[in-house]
Structure 1
Amino acid sequence: MRIPVLSMMLAAIAACVFGMASGTAAWAQTTLQVFYAYPNNYKPVLERIAGEFEAAHPDIKISFWPPASSYDTATPQMLRGALVGQIPDVFFTGLNYLRVLKDRDLLVPLDGFVQGPAQWKAMGYRDSMLALGRLGDEVYALPFAISMPVLYVNEDLVRRAGLTVAGLPQDWRGLAEAGRRIAALDPGYVGFFFAYDASGNWGLQQLVNSAGGEMGTPDGCRLRFDERPGQSAFETLETFHALGMPAYSQDQVRAAFAAGTVGIYAGSTSQIARMATVAAGKFSLRILPLPLSGEAGRLPAGGSVAAITTRDPALRKAAWEFLTFATGPVSSKHVATYTGYMPGNQKALDDPALLGPAYAEAPNNRAGLAALAVGTGWYNWGGPNGVRIVDVIQEAINAVVTGRRRAAEALPALAGQVRPLLAGCTR
């Protein structure tokens, strides 16, 4: 009888030891705090990516912070958090705020995790995509979801207005005039809309870059938007107002486009998947490139990049694992299919089992790929006032689009506001 009792005692001890070991393992699990913006765009796909990552890395848990409404609100939250030591371990940020974050020493350089350019390429990161997250000689972020500006066209409304998609004008004024013809069909229609309120002044930069200009100097320390291309950009915004473009928000216009009451909408490839779904069976959707003014015209790449922001060296290896998983080929496929953002990882495009040739050959993806071929960076302002400069510029844009101020007076006044804000910017 003693043997069973002894066996039971040994089993109990073993169970206790196993339980302690299990408790230790659970206690030792690494948790990464992750912060991002635009939950309407990213929440479903990031949750799927996190679930697949945790299944492949059971020792690492992903904990999402409540997402910010936009890149413009996420960055100030990061800067405030840094003052009190409350920052996430991984941050999905807008391309245009990298310099602000680097200047505050909030980004971890990534080149030290790889063995040079050959390894970056083997992982699927093209030089053009790495350039989006590079400042100076260092890569600070990896491409997660890349968007390019495109035109969304309701082909049915275009035809009703006596126009054809193939015959649409190749200049901004012409597109706005076509929109006025569409709007004349019904008082409830929006004929033409340009996303003037896009985060980080992305809309204005589209107009400046497409006219061959730049928002500022490469170091982010001197403005250039007051040169001729910038003047043309503000005059174009004034033309949009004069030809009847309403000063709606993008959310309002996207809802109206989904309802079939918007003719031409200059927006982002990030909405391709959503727009295709809402248009199916309701109207014919076409996606076209934006107008360019000559060979010097470029279009800014928008979207999100993933960066390591933890100050804890012990967490950086786990953060790197999540970063490369979230921007890897399988996750890039999820991003493209869930949202319409363009993949930042070349392997997702090359692999027939992922996106493969079918993505590049899909008619409504060609405009984004064509835009990427003439892409440039989303401009980053330098110095301590980078976030404030974005707000000041947007206020001037809003004033012109709503007709409260003429372009000829708004632009010089804006330049006069921004120059002092760049006074502390040195490289």
Structure 2
Amino acid sequence: MLLSRRTFLSTATAAAATPILGAAALPQTTIRLSYASAPARGLYQSLAQRFMETRPDIRVVLDSPAVDYDGLVQQTLRQNITKQLPDISHQGLNQIRPLADRGIAVPLDRFIAGDPAWNTIGVPQAVTSFASYGGKTCALPFAISVPVLFYNMDLVKQAGGDPDNLPDDWDGVIALGRKINALGEGTGGLYVEYTNNGWSFQTLVGAFGGRMMSEDETRITFDGPAGLQALQLLQRLGKEGQPALNTEQARQAFRAGKLGILFTASSLLTGFQQSAAGNFRLKVGSLPVSSTADRLPAGGNGIVMLTDDPDRQKACWDYIKFAVGPAGQTIMVEATGYVPVNLAAISDPAGLGRFFDAHPEHRIASQRIAMMTGWFSFPGENNSRIIKAIEDHCYLVVSQKQDPAAALSSLGKDVDALLPH
């Protein structure tokens, strides 16, 4: 999503940035950081503040938040043209590749190789690979979002569902949603997000055993059986009465206790818990998959270094290490429903281990880490246009305006035309 000229100018300039004050002494190095979106402001303010408490020689200044990950990468590409890039940025994991392909993202391999402390931080190579392209580490994942189902257990119980035996397949989930929908009084049963920067469609394709492109990226593969099953599911949801809401409206309905089941990202957990407190009981369920061998795209964001100034690069690297280390990951998890990228932090009984014991709903998403893979980004310069095409076709299917097979064929041709040949 492109930002307006006024929003872009206010976001892109350092004068519009929001300073996070550190120690009383003036820091030696200032780094500017960008992120999305506005609801995440508190997280990044807390992260910057805690980092500066450990490093009073570094000052972190936050840009005004972009609307979403697509808006952030578009903003960053414009800032590169106008020479107003921030020093570091929390980019959506599917939007790092455009920055890497254009040489905007600074590879982090030499910082990793030259830092003796890196191997003790606790971020596994399997997670690091989520932000690697062309054999280079172009970013480090900071927060992983896992696909989950959120349940309003009060509505589940009213509809005759078993709170202790939630369905584990789509037939059961849809049947339960139908019962909740029958309660009436403005209550919706089930809503499966289908617009989320292409993440939802990619997730469903993965949950049916497919992938977006061949491993060598010479051809699309989502136009096979898995892609058809994904669109058939969306068509079925539309026929079953999925509420005619957009993504944010569906989330708001769930917060208000007017929606029984919502498929979305685990990162919304803390916010949903706050809304549910005193109003309804919330439970997290796993997304149905066809096999434990399926691979689901890791939503969330990674930290990209953008500056070529040596002093600011050193400061940025120190911020990155803090953010993906145990302290930064603990701050992130306690503020959100994101899954941590730091396995050492997860197993620390004095850190996140204790947090997960006290908050078992947060542990549900972390149990799917072994199934996660990179959030696929299409090669070439049209990744954002491809995402838009995917979401447009998903809408046509959900709204019963296009047959799944016809939509898949049309989508395949549209995406292929946007890929480099």
Q: TM-score with structure 1 length normalisation?
A: 0.88
Unaligned runs of 5+ in 2: 1-23
8 Å Cα contact 2:27/2:58 also seen in 1: no
1:188 aligns to what?
Answer: 186
Query: Following the alignment from structure 2 to structure 1, what is the Cα–Cα distance between the partners of residues 139 and 167?
Result: 38
Matching of residues 93-172 of structure 1 within 5 Å: 93-115=91-113, 119-172=117-170
Q: Aligned-pair distance for 1:407?
A: 1.4
1:348 aligns to what?
Answer: 345
Query: Following the alignment from structure 1 to structure 2, what is the Cα–Cα distance between the partners of residues 172 and 395?
Result: 23
Q: Which of 377, 380, 401 is the aligned partner of 1:380? A: 377
* Of 69-78 and 124-133, the range deviating more from structure 2: 124-133
8 Å Cα contact 1:221/1:381 also seen in 2: no
Is 1:303 paired with 2:337? Answer: no
Query: Following the alignment from structure 1 to structure 2, what is the Cα–Cα distance between the partners of residues 80 and 147?
Result: 27
2:58 aligns to what?
Answer: 60
Q: Which has the larger radius of gyration?
A: 1
One-letter identity of the residue aligned with 2:306: T
Query: Following the alignment from structure 2 to structure 1, what is the Cα–Cα distance between the partners of residues 116 and 295?
Result: 28
Is 1:238 paired with 2:235? Answer: yes
2:10 aligns to what?
Answer: none
One-letter identity of the residue aligned with 1:417: D
* Of 52-61 and 317-326, the range deviating more from structure 2: 52-61
Is 1:274 paired with 2:289? Answer: no
1:29 aligns to what?
Answer: 28
8 Å Cα contact 1:177/1:243 also seen in 2: no
One-letter identity of the residue aligned with 1:365: H
Unaligned runs of 5+ in 1: 1-24
Q: How has the CA–CA distance of structure 1 residues 369 and 117 changed in structure 2, closer, same or farther, with 3 Å as cutoff? A: farther
Query: Following the alignment from structure 2 to structure 1, what is the Cα–Cα distance between the partners of residues 86 and 123?
Result: 24
8 Å Cα contact 1:206/1:300 also seen in 2: yes
8 Å Cα contact 1:50/1:62 also seen in 2: yes
Q: Aligned-pair distance for 1:240?
A: 0.9
Residues 152-186 of structure 1 show CA distances to partners (whole Å, capped at 9, x for unaligned) of 11111111111113444332243223212101101
8 Å Cα contact 1:393/1:414 also seen in 2: yes
The secondary structure found in structure 2 opposite 1:96 is: coil
Query: Following the alignment from structure 1 to structure 2, what is the Cα–Cα distance between the partners of residues 298 and 350?
Result: 24
Q: Aligned-pair distance for 1:310?
A: 1.2
One-letter identity of the residue aligned with 2:298: A
> Identity across aligned pairs (percent)?
37
1:285 aligns to what?
Answer: 282
Q: Aligned-pair distance for 1:337?
A: 0.7
Query: Following the alignment from structure 1 to structure 2, what is the Cα–Cα distance between the partners of residues 108 and 336?
Result: 27
Is 1:261 paired with 2:258? Answer: yes
2:11 aligns to what?
Answer: none
8 Å Cα contact 1:173/1:236 also seen in 2: no
8 Å Cα contact 2:292/2:371 also seen in 1: no
8 Å Cα contact 1:220/1:380 also seen in 2: no
1:203 aligns to what?
Answer: 200
Q: How has the CA–CA distance of structure 1 residues 334 and 26 changed in structure 2, closer, same or farther, with 3 Å as cutoff? A: closer
The secondary structure found in structure 2 opposite 1:393 is: helix
Query: Following the alignment from structure 2 to structure 1, what is the Cα–Cα distance between the partners of residues 238 and 108?
Result: 44
2:78 aligns to what?
Answer: 80
8 Å Cα contact 2:25/2:56 also seen in 1: no
Q: How has the CA–CA distance of structure 1 residues 295 and 26 changed in structure 2, closer, same or farther, with 3 Å as cutoff? A: closer
The secondary structure found in structure 2 opposite 1:274 is: helix
2:408 aligns to what?
Answer: 411
Q: Aligned-pair distance for 1:282?
A: 1.9
Query: Following the alignment from structure 2 to structure 1, what is the Cα–Cα distance between the partners of residues 415 and 381?
Result: 12
The secondary structure found in structure 2 opposite 1:150 is: strand
Q: How has the CA–CA distance of structure 1 residues 221 and 108 changed in structure 2, closer, same or farther, with 3 Å as cutoff? A: farther
Residues 259-296 of structure 1 show CA distances to partners (whole Å, capped at 9, x for unaligned) of 21211111111011122222222222111111011344
Query: Following the alignment from structure 1 to structure 2, what is the Cα–Cα distance between the partners of residues 117 and 174?
Result: 50
8 Å Cα contact 2:379/2:420 also seen in 1: no
Q: Aligned-pair distance for 1:417?
A: 0.8
1:294 aligns to what?
Answer: 291
* Of 164-173 and 392-401, the range deviating more from structure 2: 164-173
Query: Following the alignment from structure 1 to structure 2, what is the Cα–Cα distance between the partners of residues 247 and 224?
Result: 30
Q: How has the CA–CA distance of structure 1 residues 117 and 302 changed in structure 2, closer, same or farther, with 3 Å as cutoff? A: farther
2:48 aligns to what?
Answer: 50
Q: Aligned-pair distance for 1:26?
A: 8.2
Q: Aligned-pair distance for 1:358?
A: 4.4
Query: Following the alignment from structure 1 to structure 2, what is the Cα–Cα distance between the partners of residues 316 and 333?
Result: 24
Q: Aligned-pair distance for 1:297?
A: 2.3
Q: Aligned-pair distance for 1:221?
A: 4.9
Aligned length: 398
Q: Aligned-pair distance for 1:116?
A: 7.3
Q: TM-score with structure 2 length normalisation?
A: 0.89
One-letter identity of the residue aligned with 1:239: R
